[in-house]
Amino acid sequence: MTEPLVTFRNVKKHFGSFVAVRDMELDIHAGEFLAIMGSSGCGKTTTLRMLAGLEAPTSGEIRIGGELMNEVKPHERDTPLVWQSLALFPFLSARENVEFGLKMRGVSKEERKRRALEWLDRMEIGEFAERNITTLSGGQKQRVALARSLVMEPKMLLLDEPLSALDANLVIRMQAVLTRLQKELGITFVYVTHSQSEAFAMADRVVIMSQGEIAQVGSPKDIYRAPANRFVAEFVGRNNILSGSVVSLDSEAVTISTPSGTFVATAPETARIVGSDATFVVSADLVSVSREEPTGENRILCTLISEEFVGSMVTLFLESADGHEFKVQMQERDLIELDLHGDDQIWLSWAVQNAHVLDRE
């Protein structure tokens, strides 16, 4: 495997006695789209600002292309940051803002105009090219800021909530534009977002942070299917999480007794101990629903509490006899076939290979 483009080694960032980032170990590969997410205040922006050179780590090493960057100033790096407050020039037009970096590099007038207009078009704001920046909406400014960074074709682009001012439809369009450009140009994107759908739709790998630490790094699929710990399982939101103790083992799986019933799940070596506590997760889209009692190890009768519709998908919220909440995600058309009503009793079931015991609590 090639050397990572960026390495964080044992990086810490303190603000006075407050620890914003602790013991960070992270590799970012050239050409990768990495999203960093986590709840408010977990250290996402601080991590990005250290990469941009706007904050120096308190200890540890950040390297880009093998070179130690801890004390290298922002303007001496090829790592522009697109962030919420934008820092666009107020007296210039959208096009002049986009041209600015090219002008500093001595690109000819004709060439920089051509390139600026091309990037404004790509961001779907070509029609506003000659408008003063102060007359544009928040979402339009955000796209000027993206064009201004992308026109420089940097090796790496740092983005802090770059689509936060856009409406839902435009977010989806711009996500598609950004992922396509990122792959076409081979730029490494490090993208901070609150939005799980954004991170999971766009990124090759996602970093989930909690209280200044990395809770898990993996592909969106890995994080959905095999969360490393309870924090990630809960953060991802659509998991069913059950806890109990291991009552028996076989070569592939463990049987766990919980207050809701006894279930069978796959388990890492560390959890394969009879008598030990164990928590397992089942993703809501891997749970089946039926009126007839199913066969198989993992089944439970639940009462339907409510339904939540998002597009053509629906999430059912149900409760077992012991009061545990279950979630099931399915296509709306499958729900119509089931003809469910509030307070209906219904069977949930899932395959053993879709239930994973967490490695750590």
Ligand X SMILES: Nc1ncnc2c1ncn2[C@@H]1O[C@H](COP(=O)(O)OP(=O)(O)OP(=O)(O)O)[C@@H](O)[C@H]1O
Selected from 42, 98, 233, 355, the binder of ligand X by CB under 6 A is: 42
* CB of 304 closer than 8 Å to CB of 340: yes
CA trace torsion 292, 295, 297, 300 (10° rounding): 0
Nearest distance in Å: CB 89, ligand X: 25
Nearest distance in Å: CB 18, ligand X: 6
Nearest distance in Å: CB 7, ligand X: 20
Selected from 15, 76, 121, 310, the binder of ligand X by CB under 6 A is: 15
C-alpha–C-alpha distance, residues 89 and 134, integer Å: 9
Closest CA to 316 of 281, 287, 279: 287
Where in 190-249 is the site for ligand X (CB under 6 A)? 194
Is residue 44 part of the contact set for ligand X (CB under 6 A)?
yes
- Which of 50, 253 has the CB closer to ligand X? 50
- Which residues are CB-neighbours of 118 under 8 A, at least 6 positions away? none
C-alpha–C-alpha distance, residues 3 and 10, integer Å: 18
- Which of 38, 227 has the CB closer to ligand X? 38
Nearest distance in Å: CB 324, ligand X: 31
Selected from 2, 17, 40, 312, the binder of ligand X by CB under 6 A is: 40
Closest CA to 214 of 193, 228, 196: 228
Where in 49-68 is the site for ligand X (CB under 6 A)? none
- Which of 43, 162 has the CB closer to ligand X? 43
> Quick one: which segment of 13-21, 109-117, 318-326, 345-353 binds ligand X (CB under 6 A)?
13-21
C-alpha–C-alpha distance, residues 228 and 13, integer Å: 24
- Which of 85, 251 has the CB closer to ligand X? 85
C-alpha–C-alpha distance, residues 172 and 85, integer Å: 21
Selected from 3, 10, 25, 41, the binder of ligand X by CB under 6 A is: 41
* CA dihedral for 135, 105, 64, 176, sign (positive or negative): positive
Closest CA to 189 of 126, 3, 198: 198
211: three-class secondary structure by DSSP = coil
Where in 158-197 is the site for ligand X (CB under 6 A)? 194
Q: In what order do the strands lie in the sheet with 6-15?
A: 18-28, 6-15, 59-64, 67-68
- Which of 28, 51 has the CB closer to ligand X? 51
Is residue 17 part of the contact set for ligand X (CB under 6 A)?
no
Nearest distance in Å: CB 25, ligand X: 17
Is residue 18 part of the contact set for ligand X (CB under 6 A)?
yes
Is residue 151 part of the contact set for ligand X (CB under 6 A)?
no
The contact set with ligand X (CB under 6 A) reads 15, 18, 20, 38, 40-46, 194
